[in-house]
Structure 1
Amino acid sequence: MDIRTFIRKDLRDMVNYQVQPVRGIKMDANESPFPMSRELRGEIAKWIQEEETLRFYPDTDCVELRRTIAETSGLSADQVLCGVGSDQIIDFLMKTFLEEGDTILVPEPSFSMYALSAKINHGKAVAFDLNAEDFSYPIDTILQLCRERKPKILFLCTPNNPTGSPLERCELERILEGVSCIVALDEAYGEFSGQNDLDLIETYPNLVSLRTFSKAFGLAGLRVGYALGSREMIQALDTVKAPYNLSTIAQITAAKVLRRPEYKEHIAWILRERDRMYEQLRQLEGKQGFYCYPSSANYFFMRSNVENLGALLLERGLLVRAYTGSLKSYIRASITTQEGNDLFLASLWEILEGIES
């Protein structure tokens, strides 16, 4: 019996999101370079030793975590919905709003899960290209496509993954004023940009912010994401949420991390390191066509004429995100420990100068 004959016809040739095997110093997934503090690990270990409720299902409504997120976001708890990473929140959006054949608009290049999730949920993604020179958002094009294609959901990623380019507040407001669809603002890296547009939720109930504990908070292994939006938006998304979707340990740990000051210190260090690295990366511009784009996130998007640059860096123990197809000349590298960052910079110098000589 061929199981493939039972698969939905539109999914038989689909390739799901691909993850690289872990090798060397990880600079491929934009994770935090900071492990959880010893003190916090001790708190969680003590809680597990004394806690007797893990035999029960977790709090299906994530009450304490939502309350903590709300306090730090300036919103109310009923404006927060928690999920297994922001990926699950993306899926909630598709399940809630898409009917068969409905369209979403997505930036290109950007996070591939928007289009994949739409397809899985019987929708289709229409991509618009970011401006070629700096990967900024083409606002006029977006507004025109929204008028022509009438999408159910418009996805905007800021800072954009993988380019690190931001969507400015004035641009977001212009889009919100000009569209009549759901606007999903993916702010997975928002903590690194210093921009806060959450007050717009009160004016635009169709706006929803997607966030995560995987990047700035260093909890990628626990898969905690959340949505911030109007009460009507969150109530709508809650209708498709499965019960008990987020584990007790994930809820408790995320709430504890959010209450502690370390994460702000970690963000400040990453921003300083980002500035230091960018100044050095700029000195490489022009060598083998190398160019590093300015970043508002915790990673750099770089272009060069060295087609196997990712493989050459891996030979030196550095795992970066190397792209194929129309992005084959590009790599993306996360800011990691200072030791890893220094090795990355030295390796780039060695590779680019070695080829030139």
Structure 2
Amino acid sequence: MKPPVELVREAIRQRKLYTLPRGKYIAKLNQNENPYEVPDSIKEEILREIKRKSWNRYPDLAYSELKEEIAEWQKVAKERIVIGNGSNEVLFSIMFTLLSKGDELVSISPSFSMFENFSSLIEARTTYLRLKKGNFSFPVEDIEERAASGKYKLILLCSPNNPTSNTLSRDELVRILESAKGYVLVDEAYVDFCNQDFKKLIDDYDNLILTRTFSKAFSFPFGRFGYGILPVELAREVVKAQLPYNLNGMTETAVRVLIKNRKVFG
């Protein structure tokens, strides 16, 4: 007997499959891929390091050395670092850790499409606040009001915002952080392309979460790597929600080489 498809969760059955147009393009603006390749010399160094590894062994379960190198580079505590198979996985892991069915969060529109995908998968309820007409600036007062209400576990923002490229100012983010009763997550996928870095606020605000990726400035979407800088207590919980060995050893090795050569990427 064939089991009925109705056994599949309704939230899954109602979703559309995530797809992309196929073809060869000079510039793929839908994914914002870097047009510049990783230099051959760095690719060769990556391949040499991968060859040195024991392929019949699992990678380090805790990815300790990689986390230490990220922490040293970003000048934050190692215990704050959460890594994943792209920043998408880090984002989803955080949302999955914090949100249950029916929980509420706030985000902006238009913004990164995965925010909606992940919240609908978890069956959380999202309130979307429109960017202001004309200059696409953030509706900071509206965000503050909702953040202060205590109704929302998570405020989900993107700065620089995808697709509008505008950024939150430091003062605007501080206002939101000081109003919020829950966590404030800022997706900083494009942080390397602007002069605004919120990392210095991490030690002052225990409700601030930052996520970053190697897919843009480091030209490495092929390897799928992202990381988050979280409050230590939350980082401990998020790791519990991730699958063991969520990052393959080849990507881990490649990322460590890229970090060592980070000055090449600006």
With the length of structure 1 as denominator, give the TM-score of the two structures.
Answer: 0.70
Tell me the residue number matched to 1:272.
Answer: none
In our comparison, the structure showing a higher alpha carbon Rg is 1
Question: Mind listing any 5+ residue stretches in structure 1 that lack a counterpart?
Answer: 265-357
Tell me the residue number matched to 1:103.
Answer: 104
1:40 to 36, 39, 42: 42
Equivalent residues, number: 263
**CA-to-partner distance for each residue in 1:304-332, whole Å, 9 max, x for gaps?**
xxxxxxxxxxxxxxxxxxxxxxxxxxxxx
Alignment partners' CA distance in 1, 2:260 and 2:51: 22
Asked if residue 26 in structure 1 is aligned to residue 27 in structure 2, the reply is yes
**CA-to-partner distance for each residue in 1:73-92, whole Å, 9 max, x for gaps?**
11021111100111111111
Could you tell me which amino acid in structure 2 is paired with residue 218 of structure 1? S
| 1:36-185 equivalence runs, <5 A | 36-51=38-53, 53-148=54-149, 150-185=151-186
Alignment partners' CA distance in 1, 2:171 and 2:150: 23
**CA-to-partner distance for each residue in 1:31-68, whole Å, 9 max, x for gaps?**
112212121122122223333x1211122212122111
Alignment partners' CA distance in 2, 1:111 and 1:127: 12
Alignment partners' CA distance in 1, 2:209 and 2:150: 21
Tell me the residue number matched to 1:256.
Answer: 257
Closer/same/farther in 2, CA of residues 115 and 73 from structure 1, 3 Å limit: same
Q: Give yes or no for contact 1:17–1:113 (8 Å, CA) kept in 2.
A: no
Alignment partners' CA distance in 1, 2:162 and 2:125: 20
Q: Give yes or no for contact 2:50–2:253 (8 Å, CA) kept in 1.
A: no
Could you tell me which amino acid in structure 2 is paired with residue 198 of structure 1? K
Could you tell me which amino acid in structure 1 is paired with residue 165 of structure 2? G
Alignment partners' CA distance in 2, 1:231 and 1:36: 33
Greater alpha carbon shift after TM alignment, 100-109 vs 2-11: 2-11
Q: Give yes or no for contact 2:81–2:235 (8 Å, CA) kept in 1.
A: yes
Question: Mind listing any 5+ residue stretches in structure 2 that lack a counterpart?
Answer: none
Tell me the residue number matched to 1:310.
Answer: none
Alignment partners' CA distance in 2, 1:184 and 1:17: 23
| 1:202-221 equivalence runs, <5 A | 202-221=203-222
Greater alpha carbon shift after TM alignment, 120-129 vs 38-47: 38-47
Q: Give yes or no for contact 1:82–1:227 (8 Å, CA) kept in 2.
A: yes
Greater alpha carbon shift after TM alignment, 22-31 vs 62-71: 22-31
| 1:237-316 equivalence runs, <5 A | 237-260=238-261, 261-264=263-266
Could you tell me which amino acid in structure 1 is paired with residue 190 of structure 2? Y
Closer/same/farther in 2, CA of residues 48 and 144 from structure 1, 3 Å limit: closer
Q: 3-state DSSP class of the match of 2:35?
A: coil
With the length of structure 2 as denominator, give the TM-score of the two structures.
Answer: 0.93
Alignment partners' CA distance in 1, 2:68 and 2:80: 10
Q: 3-state DSSP class of the match of 1:232?
A: helix
